[in-house]
Each structure stands twice: as structure tokens, then as C-alpha cells.
Amino acid sequence: MGKGFDPLEIERIKGPVLIVGKCAIEEVSDKLLSRLGKRKVYLSGRCNDLRATTEAMCHLSKVNPMKFVTANPLTVLEILIQANLHRTHAKLVNPACFILKMR
């Protein structure tokens, strides 16, 4: 990522797009947001923000993030609920991100 994108290549983007990184967002997000709209542009602003990137990729590809975990889905949901009840500071991927756009 970074800076220095070809403006013609950015103009050719028609479908949903994920922009990763602060520099890339500063350079191309305004153009793409105005042309494609907020529903088709996904942003992952921090460097190595795995939660935002995973949520966007799961939504774009319609992949349930719960399928990545080999444990029983009910056990995973119980762990997620416990983590939220104990006010975890971890950045957890939303299990519904394949249905709803998170960011």
C-alpha cells in the first residue's frame, strides 16, 4: 500500500474496494467514496488492523468468520460473550461481519 497510485487505475475500479493503510486512505478514499458511495468502499485505517481487514474481507467474500475457528460454534459464542462481559480490550472480529458492513 502507501502512496503513488495510478489515477487511471483508481478510475477503473467499479465494484466494492477495500483500502488498507492510512496513506492509501488519504490518497484515494475521497475519490472512491464520492464515485462509488459509502456502501462499496471499505476502510482499514491503522497499520496491521487485522480486525477491520478481516471484517471487510469476510463481508466482501460472504465468508462467516466462525468457520475459521475449529472449536464448537456454541463454545466460541460463549467465549465471545464472556470476553465482552469482562470488558476485554482485545479487538474481536464481529461474528456477524459477513452479513453487516462494520466500518
Q: Over the stretch 68-96, which tens digit does the pLDDT of each residue have?
A: 888 898 998 898 899 989 998 888 888 89
Question: Per the domain annotation, does 103 fall within a domain?
Answer: no
Q: Nearest CA to 36 among 18, 14, 21?
A: 14
The pLDDT value given to residue 2: 60
Examine the pLDDT at 1 and tell me if it is beyond 80. Answer: no
Question: Per the domain annotation, does 62 fall within a domain?
Answer: yes
Cβ atoms 21, 2 nearer than 8 A = yes
The pLDDT value given to residue 28: 93
pTM over 0.85: no
Q: Nearest CA to 40 among 20, 15, 21, 57?
A: 15
Residues 6 or more apart in contact with residue 22 via CB below 8 angstroms: 45, 46, 47
For the beta carbon of residue 45, count every other beta carbon within 10 angstroms: 15
Question: Per the domain annotation, does 98 fall within a domain?
Answer: no
Query: Residue type for 64, please?
Result: N
Question: Per the domain annotation, does 28 fall within a domain?
Answer: yes
Residue 69: give the domain boundaries. Answer: 7-85
